[in-house]
Amino acid sequence: MKYLTPLAFVLLALTGCSTAVQSQSGTGTLMAGSGVTTGGDDHPGSVAVLLGLDPVRQDLKLSSLQCTLLDSLRAQYKSRSKQIIAIGMADEDAGIRANWDLKSLSKQFNQRALNVLSSSQQDRLRQIERQMLGGNLLTSPSEQQLLGLSAQQQQQLASISQSSKAQVASLNTQSASGKLSPFWADIKRHQLQSSTSNQMLSVLTAKQKKHWLVLSGQKMGLPKFSDPNARTQSIFEGY
């Protein structure tokens, strides 16, 4: 069964999103997509893969037909993303193109996965995303509009996001070069994503924070972090 621990989700969900492509070339390692953006993705992760997690499926009460359709979408998404990343490893230009292709692919499959759900299931999924991603979801344009964020708040969030992406890129470079073990790289990514979430939440006013908690809905039950039968699974597993 596909289980997910709360801490690991916050770590891994954002990692794949913020460091889309690494391209090895004669000029070094290129981390594509780390520039400043005026708005983030509404779903900073793969919805198709998120919907493959058993706790999420159980919470949404997905039918067997829905699960079958989502399994197919998830397999297609992982396969195509691996192909794009492989092409992007050729050189810097290929890496930049691959980064944009990954963004387009993610957007396409996110919408296809959402189309499998009923409107009420989509609403509940959004609540689950808020609970799991915390402040990291505040880069979403729709979330910013929903909370009525000012232009100044949006710029603050963009700056925090840019800083986080740069730090994750540095961690990935250290890990790829062997200067940092994969285990410690994961630990440091989790610490960074947790810190980023807290920083982003601190941008909200007291009223906005209260509204955010209401929008998060009923807390979703997940395995405890110490559960020996639970295993972590990234919503970007496989790339």
pLDDT digits (tens, 9 = 90+) for 160-206: 999 998 898 888 888 878 898 989 988 998 899 899 999 999 999 99
Confidence label for 40 from pLDDT (cuts 50, 70 and 90): low
Confidence label for 103 from pLDDT (cuts 50, 70 and 90): confident
The predicted structure's pLDDT at residue 142: 94
Where b means 16+ CB within 10 Å and e means fewer, 32-49 reads: bbbeeeeebbbbbbbbbb
pLDDT value at 229 more than 70: no
The model's pLDDT over 115-146, given as tens digits with 9 standing for 90+, comes to 999 999 999 999 999 998 899 999 999 999 99
The model's pLDDT over 48-101, given as tens digits with 9 standing for 90+, comes to 888 999 999 999 999 999 999 999 999 999 999 999 988 888 777 888 888 889
- Kindly state the tokens that stand for 222: 């997940």
What number of other Cβ atoms are within 10 A of residue 154's Cβ? 19
Q: What are phi and psi of 30, to 5 degrees?
A: -100, 125
pLDDT value at 33 more than 60: no
Cα–Cα separations (whole angstroms), residue 91 to 17, 87, 99, 160, 177:
20, 9, 12, 29, 17
Confidence label for 5 from pLDDT (cuts 50, 70 and 90): very low
The predicted structure's pLDDT at residue 76: 94
DSSP lists the bridge partners of residue 28 as: 25
Q: Tell me how far apart the alpha carbons of residues 75 and 120 are, in angstroms, rounded to a whole number.
A: 25
Q: What are phi and psi of 236, to 5 degrees?
A: -120, 30
- Kindly state the tokens that stand for 155: 């710029």
DSSP conformational letter for 24: E
* CA–centroid distance for 161 within its chain: 12
- Kindly state the tokens that stand for 184: 């410690």
Decide: helix, strand or coil at residue 30.
Answer: strand
The predicted structure's pLDDT at residue 51: 93
Q: Span 17-39, mean pLDDT?
A: 36
Q: Considering only CA atoms, which of 16, 130, 122, 128 is closest in space to residue 62?
A: 122
Q: Tell me how far apart the alpha carbons of residues 139 and 31 are, in angstroms, rounded to a whole number.
A: 20
Residue pair 6/233 in contact (Cβ under 8 Å)? The answer is: no
* Pick from 10-24, 40-54, 219-233: least confident: 10-24
Q: Tell me how far apart the alpha carbons of residues 191 and 176 are, in angstroms, rounded to a whole number.
A: 19
pLDDT value at 43 more than 90: no
The predicted structure's pLDDT at residue 222: 56
Decide: helix, strand or coil at residue 181.
Answer: coil
Residue pair 51/113 in contact (Cβ under 8 Å)? The answer is: yes
